[in-house]
């Protein structure tokens, strides 16, 4: 395996939530890096100043009426700041990131609606390469640092519908179809089920799988988010029971669960069983190396050793980098990789675009099933299986750095080798242990893999206990118990 890559200059993503029930423009931090900006005007001015107003900026939104209204507001603000704006309308995140590159836009803004009763819109900002970034990190991707906002009279908004959102969506779908064997897929006419999770997959998913690829498609949860009560989840956390029942009930070959943004996907086989993210990652790596022998595959530090084994057997080169889509994209570009991804269902196909893409991944899996002519459950049984367990342990910000330093020192004495490109990963003859501080919360994600479930559980317990004990010890050294947290 190649020496692990430690990317530099990878900006942290940011998500902010705008509440329609609070004062206009109130921002509440979402997942990712906290936002210091306090209102939409300030947020969009940061984008405008970060790109030196050389534009254009592409703005898109999901199916929600709240997000559509917010997107119009953001486009107007950007236009009044002197930025040329392309209003794409309804578009999933992968469609936006694809279009950013095609337009040679300087940035992209995507707005989504939360289900009731929250009534808020979430904002994501992307750089010129489609990588999610923070407004105060625009300079990290080759853009100018923020400059003072325009003063005095505002220029008239320059907002254009590029030439209509549907045209941009068509170009995005064209690119996906061009990457797969459309004729073979249409001839097979597989029956598939698509769960849109009330998100942006409903904008393009049914058209891609049905109209363009000729599959017989059953769709679930395509209603806009404001008609939904309760939160939506990431695919790996979703209740897949409804999808599993639909797959087996329809006699479908496969089911797809897209997240609300459409950049993540989880697969369900013909028996109704979900396919583990590590297995899906390994399967796509093997298929990529079948098409491109000797190619480079990129994954993150938290991925299963099954991926390394599959890539090694197929004669490929594996590059391991930090966790997160930005790090994956950076490594793919740096090493001219043919495929990359993580076990959370974010898979990247650089021949299409260097960003996670759920619809593209779904089309690739359909193509694989057609070529193999075998059930998905049979295919995945050929791949190495590992037991990976995860647990979050409290890790207060005040002791994060010293805890990780001491943990790295302790594990370096006990493990066969350690890697510290992202957290601390310790390798043992029969498994590994990863301690990875969460970017946006005072917790440490402890992950462990073993050749058996018992060994994975033992390593997980060892890691959780180590973090807990170090937090307690440092709190005691500081003479205060307020940093101590109960791992339970």
CATH of the domain at 467: 3.30.310.50
- Which residue in this structure is represented by tokens 């941009």? 168
**Dihedral through CA 300, CA 305, CA 310, CA 311, nearest 10?**
40
Q: Report, as an integer, the average pLDDT of 146-156.
A: 33
Domain around 356: 180-380
Contact yes or no for 250/336 (Cβ under 8 A): no
Q: Is residue 462 part of a domain?
A: yes
Last residue of a domain, one of 380, 412, 446: 380
Q: How many helices (H) and strands (E) does the chain have?
A: 14, 21
Given pLDDT bands bounded at 50, 70 and 90, which one contains residue 114? low
- Asked whether residue 324 falls in the same domain as residue 444, the answer is no
User: Does the pLDDT of residue 134 top 90, yes or no?
Assistant: no
- Asked whether residue 212 falls in the same domain as residue 356, the answer is yes
User: Does the pLDDT of residue 71 top 60, yes or no?
Assistant: yes
CA separation for the pair 130, 108 (Å, rounded): 8
- Asked whether residue 48 falls in the same domain as residue 33, the answer is yes
Q: Is residue 321 part of a domain?
A: yes
CA separation for the pair 466, 412 (Å, rounded): 13
**Each residue's pLDDT tens digit, 335-353:** 999 999 999 999 999 999 9
Instruction: Let me know if 225 is exposed, middle or buried by CB neighbors in 10 A (0-12, 13-18, 19+).
Output: buried
- Asked whether residue 217 falls in the same domain as residue 365, the answer is yes
**Percent of the chain at pLDDT exceeding 90:** 63
- Asked whether residue 322 falls in the same domain as residue 408, the answer is no
SS3 state of residue 33:
coil
pTM for this entry? 0.84
Q: Which region among 153-157, 218-222, 305-309 has the lowest average model confidence (pLDDT)?
A: 153-157
What is the reported pLDDT for 48?
82
Given pLDDT bands bounded at 50, 70 and 90, which one contains residue 148? very low
CA dist 397 → 136, 216, 256, 272 (Å): 21, 50, 37, 41
**In the predicted model, what is the mean pLDDT of the chain?**
83
Q: Is residue 487 part of a domain?
A: no
What is the reported pLDDT for 155?
37
User: Does the pLDDT of residue 53 top 80, yes or no?
Assistant: no
- Which residue in this structure is represented by tokens 């510290």? 420
- Asked whether residue 281 falls in the same domain as residue 369, the answer is yes
What is the reported pLDDT for 137?
52
CATH of the domain at 249: 3.40.120.10
Q: Is residue 74 part of a domain?
A: yes
Q: Is residue 262 part of a domain?
A: yes
Per-residue DSSP letters for 42-90? HHHHHHHHHTTT---EEEEE-S-HHHHHHHHHHHHHHHHTT-EEEEEEE
CA separation for the pair 394, 406 (Å, rounded): 16
**Each residue's pLDDT tens digit, 232-258:** 555 544 579 999 999 999 999 999 999
What is the reported pLDDT for 116?
53
Contact yes or no for 277/265 (Cβ under 8 A): no
- Asked whether residue 369 falls in the same domain as residue 391, the answer is no
- Asked whether residue 140 falls in the same domain as residue 198, the answer is no
- Asked whether residue 43 falls in the same domain as residue 93, the answer is yes
- Asked whether residue 280 falls in the same domain as residue 340, the answer is yes
Per-residue DSSP letters for 140-154? GGTPPPP-PPP-SSP
Residue 88: count other Cβ atoms within 10 Å of its Cβ.
29
Last residue of a domain, one of 334, 359, 380: 380
**Each residue's pLDDT tens digit, 379-437:** 999 999 888 999 999 999 889 999 999 999 999 999 999 999 999 999 999 999 999 99
Give how many domains the chain has, as a whole number. 3
User: Does the pLDDT of residue 17 top 70, yes or no?
Assistant: no
Q: Please say whether the dihedral angle defined by the alpha carbons of residues 265, 270, 271 and 272, taken in this order, is positive or negative.
A: positive
Q: Is residue 292 part of a domain?
A: yes
**DSSP H or E run through 99:** helix 93-103
- Asked whether residue 301 falls in the same domain as residue 325, the answer is yes
- Asked whether residue 23 falls in the same domain as residue 133, the answer is yes
Encoded tokens for 377: 């459950």
Q: Is residue 5 part of a domain?
A: no
Last residue of a domain, one of 357, 380, 403: 380
Q: Is residue 247 part of a domain?
A: yes
Q: Report, as an integer, the average pLDDT of 142-159.
A: 36
């Amino acid at each position: 395996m190649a020496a692990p890559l430690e990317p530099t200059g990878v900006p942290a993503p940011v998500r902010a939530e705008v509440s329609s029930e609070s004062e206009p423009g109130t921002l509440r931090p979402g997942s990712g890096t906290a936002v210091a900006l306090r209102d939409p005007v300030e947020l969009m001015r940061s984008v405008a100043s970060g790109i030196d107003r050389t534009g254009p900026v592409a703005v898109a939104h999901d199916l929600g009426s709240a997000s559509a209204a917010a997107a119009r507001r953001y486009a107007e603000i950007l236009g009044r700041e002197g930025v040329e704006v392309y209003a794409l309308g309804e578009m999933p995140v992968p469609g936006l990131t694809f279009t950013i590159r095609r337009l040679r836009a300087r940035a992209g803004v995507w707005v989504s609606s939360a289900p009731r009763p929250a009534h808020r819109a979430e904002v994501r900002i992307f750089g010129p390469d489609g990588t999610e970034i923070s407004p105060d990190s625009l300079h990290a991707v080759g853009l100018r640092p923020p400059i003072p906002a325009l003063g005095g009279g505002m220029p008239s908004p320059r907002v254009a519908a590029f030439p209509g959102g549907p045209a941009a969506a068509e170009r995005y779908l064209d690119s996906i179809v061009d990457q797969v064997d459309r004729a073979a897929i249409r001839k097979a006419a597989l029956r598939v089920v698509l769960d849109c999770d009330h998100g942006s997959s409903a904008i393009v998913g049914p058209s891609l799988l049905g109209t363009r690829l000729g599959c017989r498609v059953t769709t679930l949860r395509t209603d806009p988010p404001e008609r939904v009560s309760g939160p939506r989840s990431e695919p790996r956390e979703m209740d897949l029971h409804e999808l599993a029942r639909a797959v087996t009930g329809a006699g479908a070959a496969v089911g797809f669960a897209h997240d609300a943004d459409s950049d993540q996907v989880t697969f369900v086989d013909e028996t109704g069983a979900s396919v583990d993210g590590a297995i899906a990652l390994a399967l796509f790596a093997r298929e990529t190396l079948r098409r491109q022998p000797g190619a480079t595959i990129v994954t993150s530090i938290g991925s299963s050793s099954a991926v390394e084994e599959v890539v090694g057997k197929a004669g490929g080169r594996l590059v391991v980098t930090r966790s997160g889509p930005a790090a994956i994209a950076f490594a793919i570009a740096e090493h001219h990789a043919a495929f990359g991804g993580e076990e959370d269902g974010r898979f990247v196909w650089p021949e299409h675009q260097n960003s996670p893409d759920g619809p593209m991944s779904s089309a690739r899996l359909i193509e694989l099933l057609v070529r193999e002519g075998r059930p998905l459950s049979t295919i995945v049984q050929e791949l190495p299986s590992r037991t990976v367990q995860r647990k979050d342990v409290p890790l207060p910000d005040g002791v994060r750095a010293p805890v990780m330093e001491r943990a790295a020192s302790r594990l370096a004495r006990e493990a066969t080798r350690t890697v510290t490109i992202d957290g601390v990963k310790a390798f043992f003859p029969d498994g590994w242990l990863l301690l990875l501080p969460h970017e946006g919360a005072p917790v440490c994600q402890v992950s462990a893999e073993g050749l058996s479930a018992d060994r994975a559980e033992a390593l997980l317990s060892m890691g959780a206990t180590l973090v807990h004990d170090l937090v307690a010890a440092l709190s005691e050294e500081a003479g205060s118990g307020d940093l101590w947290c109960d791992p339970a």
